[in-house]
Amino acid sequence: MELKLVQTDSYKALLKANKDWATKRLAEEPEFFNKLAAGQSPEILWIGCADSRVPANEVTGTRAGEVFVHRNIANVIVHSDMNMLSVLDYAVNALKVKHVIVAGHYGCGGVTAALSKKQFGLIDNWLRHIKDVYRIHSHELDAIADHTEKVNRLVELNVVEQVHNLCRTTVVQNVWKERTDLEIHGWVIDLKTGLIKDMNVTQKDAHSLGYVYELNEEAV
């Protein structure tokens, strides 16, 4: 059931929609909420953009309990972000997820803002991480004349770089020392079609990360 919010009563509409949803779920599957309350065992962690147009379950057609989710502006992996690291640690070590997906989307407002010189406020400090991605790939990006194409290419490159950043965390690398079934993926969602583009940057171990990024327990 699609919910269309009217600005004046959007809050009450949410509560009504919740009741309607719960009633419908019980009618379709009487044990649905009993099973949901019993615990979760998702195999997927989704690290996506906070944009309201790209909810993980909606995009992937999955049910409640099937995807563990963390979202922030422009799906950025920052090594000092204790929120993201805590979600990641719980997902891979407690829930034992097998797939972590970094999911960006074309037309991302955060990426668009990062390509400009305008100041937006506190968020500028966050967007700096995307500007760093631009710096790394500036030669390619500066050769793209169309602004929309440039934004969308930076969206793709940002996903690729964030996959690498994720793999470089001690959390992921330590899991790879214990088990071989954890894979890191990079996706881009096309809002015009609803389809996902796999960036084909899946990582299964730390061996391709580079000398100083592949961590071990040996002292130098």
Distances (CA, A) of 189 to 17, 78, 99, 166, 210: 27, 21, 17, 19, 28
Q: Who contacts 103 (Cβ-Cβ below 8 Å, separation ≥6)?
A: 46, 47, 48, 49, 54, 56, 59, 75, 159, 187, 188, 189, 196
Active-site residue identified among 70, 108, 153, 167: 108
Active-site residue identified among 70, 105, 129, 185: 105
Instruction: Judge if pTM exceeds 0.85.
Output: yes
**Model pLDDT for residues 117-133, shown as the tens digit of each residue:** 999 999 999 999 999 99
Active-site residue identified among 9, 20, 25, 51: 51
**Model pLDDT for residues 186-211, shown as the tens digit of each residue:** 999 999 999 999 999 999 998 888 88
205: annotated active-site residue: no
Give the CA count within 13 Å in the CB-facing half-sphere of 82.
Answer: 0
49: annotated active-site residue: yes
108: annotated active-site residue: yes
